[in-house]
Chain A
Amino acid sequence: MTQVEKETTLYLGPQHPGITGNMMIELKVTGDTVQRAKTHVGYLHRGFEKLMEERLWMQCFPIVCRICVPEPDPNEENLARAIEEIEGREVPERAQYIRVMVLELSRIASYFLWMGGQAGSMGLYTMPQWTVGDRDYILDLFEELTGGRVYHMYIWAGGVRRDLPDGFAGRVRRVLDYLEERLTDYDRLFFQNALFLKRSQGVGVIDKDKAMEWGVVGPPLRGCGIAHDVRKDEPYEVYDKLDFEIITHEGGDIYARAMVRRREIEQSISIIRQVLDKMPGGPVHNPGPNPLKWKLPAGEAYVRTESARGEFGYYVVSDGSLKPRRIHVRGPAYVHGVSLLEKMLVGANIADVSVIMNSLGTCPPEIER
């Protein structure tokens, strides 16, 4: 009997370098090769969807941002847009531009956090130091705009909560310029790093044909060379007025996904600059009824947003009462982090488990909600 045939169970997590949040993976390994993987989630279930059924519509807004900690804004935007769709409320154009700016800033912030995690899971610890520091410049902008650094609670039904502070656009541009310049440093340290290339190219491959079948979205899908991006496919807010192309990369491996994200940082910077150039004046909020007596007309809506992790969807049902009948959140991490991951880990090296997981952009709080 060879050692290879002896199967060992290895419990990875719930705390481990692969993710932001808690989630455990039960690995059956022979030697250092994973034979089977089983994900165990449930450490972060807070029951948000159910909680919202007991809250007034307005009270749902401070809740949804918690569904995804590193990138809360798509949640706020989705809930707001679903509600607006059901009640047919117009959103002022300026508010739509501001929303796009917020969404793209949060995408950059989220990618910076991913960069740190991806590099950290490979043992390159300078990167997290840098990315977390640089991400803070975006959080500073959020703090100035919304009053909160992580949980913004800024986008709400009818528009946004406050207009831009004086001189805000200039400060956004300065941060963008700085981050753009920093990308060269990141390239040298990480994206062109021989170690990174070695561990990412040809590792964690998603089959192009299987990708669609498995319901893969976001950078993992675009990393398979498939041009799918909600911002283009079903433009929301003012994305149809902005100039950008869907970024894809062939290969389906960790490297391809990394390159998609790396280039999308530049793309987001460009989008925000366009937003700042084109942003019209005017109001930023179209007021609705008194929140205490706000009854949404009976109806339902499904809206989706392209988040940093992929397609984010909200299914909102109103029975015409003061509170939601049902709000279902469709997060991309469930598909990637649970179903897909279990398949991808088969045959992987134990050391690559965290790397693969990180490359999918898994966010457990959003899986469990």
Chain B
Amino acid sequence: MKNIKGVFLPFSALKFLGKKPHTVRYPLEKKKTAERYRGFHYNDIEECIGCGTCATICQNEAIDMIKIDGIEPKKGDSGLRPRVDNGRCCWCGLCVEMCPTGSLSLTDQYLQTTPDPESFLLIPGVDHPEYGEHKSFVKDDEIRLLDLQRVPMRELDGAERVKSFAEVVLGYMQEEARREASRCVDCAICVTACPDHMHIPEYIAAIADADDELALKYIYDNNPLPELCGKVCTRQCETVCAISHLGDPIAIRWLKRYATEQFPDPAVILNPKIAEPNGKKVGIVGGGPAGLSAGFYLALRGFDVTVYEALPKAGGMTFAGIPKYRFPEDSLDKQISYMEKIGVKIKTNTRIGKDISFEELEKRHDALFLGVGFHVPYRLGIIGEDLKNSIQAVDFLREINLGNKVDVGDKVVVIGGGNVAIDAARVARRLGAEVTILYRRRVEDMPADWEEIEGAEHEGVKIVPQGIPLEIIGKDGKVAAIKYGMAEMVPDPKGGRPRPKLIEGDEHTMEVTSVIGAIGQEADYSFLPERIKEKLEIERGRIKVNEYKQTTIDYIFAGGDTVNRTMDAISAIADGVKAVEGIERFLLGDKNK
């Protein structure tokens, strides 16, 4: 034996017999997991919106989205919740990294011993709610897979804007649109929020895929006025966007705008198939978004469609109400010319009851669609309202959009806090006036789009919140000043939003040259004969309709502001689209039957 050392050295290990073991004495002792341990899932059920991004990213297909008792679908929440199959899960945590709300996490829990294979299906947050106390692998604040920041939209500078009616928003360039579209997780939460249920994830994916033509096809599938929506939509989709929970929502409106801007003539791309004429005639009263949408799809389906519009151009409020810096006239023209190509006949300068009687209309058509909108402004109801230069925003905007001159002087006060008020203020600003908005509630209570409010402020419009107009003071029959009182916000006893209450004695007077009222509008149904009005069910100014926008008179359908309270273009378009189905069923019978 040459290697004596090598024989005896190993015996030095005997000393370890006397040492304490360094292993964990399970089950007497439990192993404490690390802070980031990736164990079983936990889901904050209240925060989760059921977008399903976790299920999409899961490479093991361990997650499916299921309906859970007690959680109802609502706006911005699919009502579904993830269920994890722990028999498939590999605890990589990609679901946690991708969760747009941050509701999903992994816990430090890792033990499950059971002979029941069904129990491996865990609905995080519902099963084992106690895991909520054991969150360990959570979303990191800095390291993210989702891009939470919106690609900024280029806009005209504030000083530049007030010089003209040039469009403020400049639109995305191709690369910007692709980048913005790539942020989307395709969850389709937006689709349910959109009154018209547009194919939002599909067209966004198409834009991300550099297939703008496909995007346009998806868009035109149920919205014939995307030029309009791409510019002025109230975008309820964006308010529920999954990404908006931790970041900026996807700029859905701007992406739609981008897609429409790529093609000067949509007809070339879409090359729509128009059905053979079916011999049925539909008359549409009012060329606004509701009427045009109904007309477009009816024409595509072979109906003979005539739109009757009182103003010199179709578009309704989008023509007469929305200022040109938001929705330029050429965009409107582009849409109308496409409509006409499809075969929609538009008769402008035709007011029902004046240029043509309602009876004549009934005689000419098999069905009628009423989309007359709200063009009659509410009065302020204060002293001095009838003075010269005390005008109404809808009238003011219409005159400006028709190209007429309105002299508002150099100091204008606009009363109201909705989009119409902001539009009027920004237009007055462009006419060179100094503009103040007087609103009875707080700025955060304003129903106007926050981007519009910001834009107005950017252009130098002053906002006086919690100011209630008391009296318009005149001089020589003309507006000279306005007296208003300051209000405090008091809780609504009925539980609604806080109400303004006038503070006694806190009154101010502002010298102005014009007062523009913008506190709302109503419809004018004077064109309807009494026998029709009697039969129609009209509730607080709105005509009652069924699911298919059919009124209580079977051959009359209605849509737009005439029937719904949201008072926006996209709801009107949705009404029009829905009415097409109704009119088709009414005139041709239910094909499904």
**Residues of A bordering B, CB below 8 Å:** 55-56, 58-63, 126, 133, 140, 143-148, 151, 153, 161-163, 165, 185, 187-190, 192-195, 197, 283-285, 287, 289-293
A324–B208 Cα distance when bound, in Å, is 18
B250 to chain A, nearest CB (A): 10
B9 touches A188 (CB 8 A): yes
Q: Which of B9, B37, B57, B92 contacts A153 (CB 8 A)?
A: B92
Partner of A188, one of B10, B22, B60, B182: B10
Residues of B near A55 (CB, < 8 A) are 59
Separation of A188 and B23 alpha carbons in the complex (Å): 22
Chain B residue numbers with a CB within 8 Å of A140 are 34
Chain B residues whose C-beta falls within 8 Å of the C-beta of A193 in the assembled complex: 6, 9-10
- Check B57–A194 contact: CB distance below 8 A: no
Residue among B35, B90, B143, B186 with max Cβ neighbours from chain A (10 Å): B143
Asked if A165 meets B36 with Cβ closer than 8 Å, knowing A153-B93, A292-B57, A293-B205, the reply is yes
B169 at the interface (CB under 8 A from A): no
Q: For residue B361, which residues in chain A have a CB less than 8 angstroms away from its CB?
A: none
Q: Say whether A133 contacts B56, CB under 8 Å.
A: no
Binary contact readout B176-207 vs A (1 if CB under 8 angstroms, 0 otherwise): 00000111111000000000000000000100
* A133 x B23 contact (CB < 8 A): yes
Whether A285 contacts B93 by the Cβ 8 Å rule is no
CB within 8 Å of A: which residues of B?
1, 3, 5-7, 9-10, 12-13, 22-23, 33-38, 53, 56-57, 59-60, 90-94, 97-98, 106, 136-137, 140, 142-147, 181-186, 205, 208
Minimum distance in angstroms from B550 CB to a CB of chain A: 41
* A283, B205: Cα distance in complex, Å: 30
- A208 to B182 Cα, complex, angstroms: 54
| A126 to B14 alpha-carbon distance, docked (Å) | 10
Known contacts A188-B13, A289-B182; is-contact A147 B136 (Cβ 8 Å): yes
By a CB distance below 8 angstroms, the chain A residues around B22 are: 133
Q: CA of A292 to CA of B5 in the docked complex: distance in angstroms? A: 63
Contacting pair B93 A147 (CB below 8 A): yes
Contact at B12–A148, with CB atoms within 8 Å?
Answer: no
Is A144 within 8 A of B36, CB to CB? yes
Residues of B within 8 A of A126 (CB): 13
**Would you give the shortest CB distance from A115 to chain B, in whole angstroms?**
14
- Could you list 10 A-B pairs, sorted by A, with CB under 8 Å? A61-B94, A62-B92, A144-B34, A148-B38, A188-B12, A190-B10, A197-B3, A292-B184, A293-B181, A293-B182
Are A292 and B186 neighbours in the complex by a CB distance under 8 Å?
yes
Query: A52's closest neighbor in chain B, by CB?
Result: B59
* CB atoms of B106 and A147 under 8 A apart: yes
Contact at B59–A291, with CB atoms within 8 Å?
A: no
Counting chain B CB atoms within 10 Å of each CB, which of A55, A58, A293 scores highest? Answer: A293
A194: nearest residue on chain B (CB-CB)? B6
Provide the residues of chain A in CB contact with B5, threshold 8 Å. 192, 194
Q: Which residues of B contact A190 (CB under 8 A)?
A: 10
Shortest distance from the beta carbon of A112 to any chain B beta carbon, whole Å: 14
| A105: min CB distance to chain B, Å | 15
Q: A290 contacts B93, CB within 8 Å?
A: no
Measured CB to CB, the nearest residue on chain A to B8 is A194
- Residues of chain A within 8 A of B181, CB atoms compared: 293
Q: Which residue of B33, B94, B137, B184 is within 8 Å of A62 (Cβ)?
A: B94
* Residues on the A chain within 8 Å of B37, using CB: 143, 147
With A144-B35, A197-B3, A290-B185: A185-B13 Cβ-Cβ less than 8 Å: yes
Closest-CB distance, B36 to chain A (whole angstroms): 4
Q: Within the complex, what minimum Cβ distance (angstroms) separates A88 from chain B? A: 17
Given contacts A62-B94, A194-B6, contact A162 B36 (CB under 8 A): yes
Shortest CB–CB separation between residue B212 and chain A, in angstroms? 16
Q: Say whether chain B's binding surface is mostly helix, strand, loop, or mixed.
A: loop
Q: How far is the CA of A61 from the CA of B93 in the complex (A)?
A: 11
Contact B56 A292 (CB under 8 A): yes
With A59-B57, A61-B92, A289-B147 given, is the CB distance from A147 to B12 under 8 Å?
no
Residues on B with beta carbons closer than 8 Å to the beta carbon of A287? 143-145, 147
B216 to chain A, nearest CB (A): 19
Decide if A197 touches B34 in the complex (CB within 8 Å).
Answer: no
Q: Give the CA-CA distance A162 to B142 in the complex, in Å.
A: 9
For A151, list chain B residues within 8 Å (CB). 90, 92
Judge whether B184 and A293 touch: CB under 8 Å.
Answer: yes
Q: Select the residue from B53, B93, B181 with max chain A CB neighbours within 10 A.
A: B93
On whether the beta carbons of B143 and A59 are closer than 8 Å, the reply is no
Contact B3 A194 (CB under 8 A): yes
* Chain B residues near A187 (CB-CB < 8 A): 9
Q: Write out the residue numbers on chain A whose beta carbons fall within 8 Å of the beta carbon of B144.
A: 287
Chain A residues contacting B35 (CB-CB under 8 Å) are: 144, 165
Q: Which residues of A contact B145 (CB under 8 A)?
A: 58, 287, 290-291
Q: Which chain B residue has the least Cβ–Cβ distance from A196?
A: B6
Q: B9, B23, B92, B186: which contacts A189 (Cβ < 8 A)?
A: B9
For the complex, what is the distance from the CA of A192 to the CA of B12, rounded to whole Å? 12
Cα separation A284 to B182 with both chains bound (whole Å): 23
A291-B57, A293-B184 known; A185+B12 contact, CB < 8 A: yes
| Min CB–CB distance B100 → chain A (angstroms) | 11
A163 / chain B contacts, CB cutoff of 8 Å: 143
What's the least CB distance linking B349 to chain A, in Å? 49
13 new A-B contacts at CB < 8 Å, known A192-B10, A293-B205: A55-B59, A58-B57, A61-B94, A62-B94, A133-B23, A151-B90, A161-B143, A194-B6, A195-B10, A197-B6, A287-B145, A291-B57, A292-B53
Complex CA–CA separation, A143 to B38 (angstroms): 9
B13 lies within 8 A of A143 (CB): no
Neighbouring B residues of A291 by C-beta, 8 Å: 57, 94, 98, 145
Give CA–CA (A291, B186) in the complex, Å.
12
Q: Which residues of B contact A146 (CB under 8 A)?
A: 36
- A284:B143 contact, CB within 8 angstroms: yes
Residue of A nearest to B23 (CB): A133
Q: Are A290 and B7 in contact (CB under 8 A)?
A: no
| A289–B145 alpha-carbon span in the complex (Å) | 7
List residues of chain B with CB within 8 A of the CB of A56: 57, 59
Report which of B6, B34, B59, B142 forms a contact with A59, defined as CB distance below 8 A. Answer: B59
**Contact partner of A58 among B3, B94, B185, CB < 8 A?**
B94
Q: Which residue of B lies closest to A146 (CB)?
A: B36
**Assembled-state Cα–Cα distance A197/B1 (Å):** 13
Taking the closest CB of chain A, its distance from the CB of B318, in whole angstroms, is 33
Nearest Cβ distance between residue B545 and chain A, in whole angstroms?
A: 40
